Amino acid sequence: MKAIDIMNKIVELERDVNTAARKVAMLKSMAERITSSLEQEVVSHSRNVHSFEDSILQLSEAKDELNAVSKKYSLLFNFITDVMNKLENSDDEDLLCGYFMEHMPLTEISVKLHHAKTWGYRRYYVALENLDALLVSIPVDQFPDIA
């Protein structure tokens, strides 16, 4: 797997975690409102479930989904940060972390690392190539299973 693919997958999983967290927060809020109104109106026609029970079931399912996505994100994030710690140039690690994990613009990262503003654009592809070289040396069975 290429470094850019792993980094893009991390960004995608981060979005999924944020979406799942928003869903949990929304369902929790809904459950609190339903609980306070104490309505006992049946909402499911296939089983005898009241609105409170239905919202709690949805909240529980959303929490399970959040936990699953968070676990995938954590596995991949920890894997790639361990690999990036092995990069010879610490600026490469800081550049990739800043760009993909902190979502900073390359010019801002360059200034933060005390380089010229255009340094980040020039160094970005070199850093990815260096990370690719490290990833090639890792056996496939050591990659996290995030499918």
pLDDT digits (tens, 9 = 90+) for 47-104: 555 656 777 888 899 999 999 999 999 999 999 999 999 999 999 999 999 999 999 9
Q: Using an 8 Å Cβ cutoff, are 15 and 23 in contact? A: no
Computed from CA positions of residues 87, 85, 70, 11, in that sequence, does the dihedral angle turn out positive or negative?
A: negative
For the question of whether the overall pTM of this predicted structure is more than 0.75, the answer is yes
β 49-50/42-44 pair status: antiparallel
Q: How far apart are CA 80 and CA 3, in angstroms?
A: 9
Asked whether the predicted pLDDT for residue 45 surpasses 70, the reply is no
pLDDT digits (tens, 9 = 90+) for 88-117: 999 999 999 999 999 999 999 999 999 999
Q: How far apart are CA 64 and CA 79, in angstroms?
A: 23
